[in-house]
Amino acid sequence: MIFRHVYQFGILGAFLSLPLIFIKLPINFSISDFFLLISMFIVVLNWIYTKDFSPIKQNIFRVPLIFLLIGFSLSIVNTFSPFESFTSMIQLLFIFILAYSVLLYNSDHKILIILFTIPTMLIVIFLTVFSIYGVDLSQGMALLESGWGGRYTFGANEPNIAARLILQIAPVLLIWMFYSRNLITGLFGSIMFLLSSYIVVVTASRSAILIFALGLLCFVFFSKKLNDGSFRRVMYGGLITISLLLLVVISKTDFNDFTRPLQRYSTIFDIQRSPSSMQRYNIIQLAFDKINQSPLVGVGLENSSGYTGIVTHNPLIIMWLENGIFGIIGFSMIYIIKLKYVYKSYQFLFFQDPYLMALSIITVMMVFGDMFMANSYKRYLWLPPLLMIVQFTQYRDGKIID
């Protein structure tokens, strides 16, 4: 690859800045996107130089994107905000064409994983100190806040987004805990995992708790597939960790910090006790009413709130409402492709790579978590799963594009 050092600068910068969602650029453009574009520019130069555009032609998301574009084209006539529709479609094309193509040329997935883990851990430390002592170590840069009814968040995002971003590093920290041969790394991973778990709890995000539970379950099952000896360590270590947590909770006399989260978690299986859950349920019903009126053609991408009042918290329902039947087919295929590659990695024993296992768990958590969210155009949630697919393909084919 010509100008590979520039490409490396861009891709490393993109993952290092991935969680820094509080650094805002115009038109929903993040600092991570800026670095990705640097790498993409080099990739396109290489395509032109070698006259080889096969990565575009062989893109595994080409069929889903065709369905999305068909649905978009049919539904754009109904939109009352064409600019919002086009920018949303551009975001999807950016993720699955540009970002995916950039990752194809990466040669070290472990570095990228560590790069997005480091700043996320720093955010966890900031939030921990802020929630316990009320001190903002970031000096306002991370936009830490205790709002949303006493829930903690950062980056001017709702707590659900903050929790999901932090959850992405949980499988990596578990890898450090149970698979690192370095005692200091294992101890550090254990401390950061406990702090991350605490922050996820105080965000009072019900969906995050369910995602967290699913991630832990996947880690246990995937560990057994990866290595039976490590699986025993995971089980013993998990039992010890849970026991220690229970002792801490039992000995803690002040539960004020957990009052709000516990109240929200108690409504997970009883939505009638939660006004927000009932509101989301009613919005979903309104969405289906509108879909029944026109199941083939949607109301226009990013225009559903004009019909339901509040954005529907499920990307598949939104895509059906906004982009019609072709939209939901295409978007569903994207999720299916991701889960298919997780299953393939599982079949190949993750090629004995704990970091590939971590990326697979992140992907499962991401797909499951998306089902509770208003949309799925967040690059910081999509890039690790895309990295998982690229790394699996490179292991399977035994080569790296260069």
- Binned at pLDDT 50, 70 and 90, residue 194 comes out as confident
Helix (H) or strand (E) holding 110: helix 109-133
Q: Tell me the C-alpha distance between 308 and 295, whole Å.
A: 16
Q: Taking the CA atoms of 273, 276, 279 and 284 in sequence, report the sign of the dihedral they define.
A: negative
Q: What percent of the chain has pLDDT over 70?
A: 82
Q: Which amino acid is at 369?
A: G
pLDDT at position 231 is: 58
Q: In terms of Cα–Cα distance, which of 131, 135, 66, 112 is closest to 323?
A: 66
- The DSSP result for 162-216, as a single string, is HHHHHHTTHHHHHHHHHH-S-HHHHHHHHHHHHHHHHHHHHTT-HHHHHHHHHHH
Q: Tell me the C-alpha distance between 206 and 210, whole Å.
A: 7
- The DSSP result for 224-240, as a single string, is HHH-HHHHHHHHHHHHH
Which stretches does DSSP call E strand in 28-137? 29-30
- Binned at pLDDT 50, 70 and 90, residue 118 comes out as very high
pLDDT at 117 over 90: yes
Burial 317-356 (b: 16+ CB within 10 A, else e): bbbbbbbbbbbbbbbbbbbebbeebbeebbeeebeebbbb
Does residue 61 contact residue 100 with C-beta atoms inside 8 Å? yes
Mean pLDDT across 290-319:
82
Q: Tell me the C-alpha distance between 175 and 189, whole Å.
A: 8
Q: In terms of Cα–Cα distance, which of 124, 114, 247 is closest to 191?
A: 124
pLDDT digits (tens, 9 = 90+) for 129-177: 998 888 888 888 888 887 666 678 887 777 888 888 999 999 999 999 8
pLDDT at position 245 is: 56
- 3-state secondary structure (DSSP) of residue 152: strand
Mean pLDDT across 50-56:
85
Mean pLDDT across 348-375:
91
Q: Which residues contact residue 1 at a Cβ distance below 8 angstroms, ignoring those fewer than 6 apart?
A: 7, 42, 46, 105, 402
| Angle formed at CA 382 by CA 378 and CA 386, multiple of 5 degrees | 160
Residue 22 has which token pair? 């509080």
Q: Which of 22-26, 48-52, 265-269 has the highest mean pLDDT?
A: 48-52
Does residue 68 contact residue 351 with C-beta atoms inside 8 Å? no
pLDDT at position 394 is: 93
pLDDT at position 263 is: 59
**Mean pLDDT taken over the chain:** 84
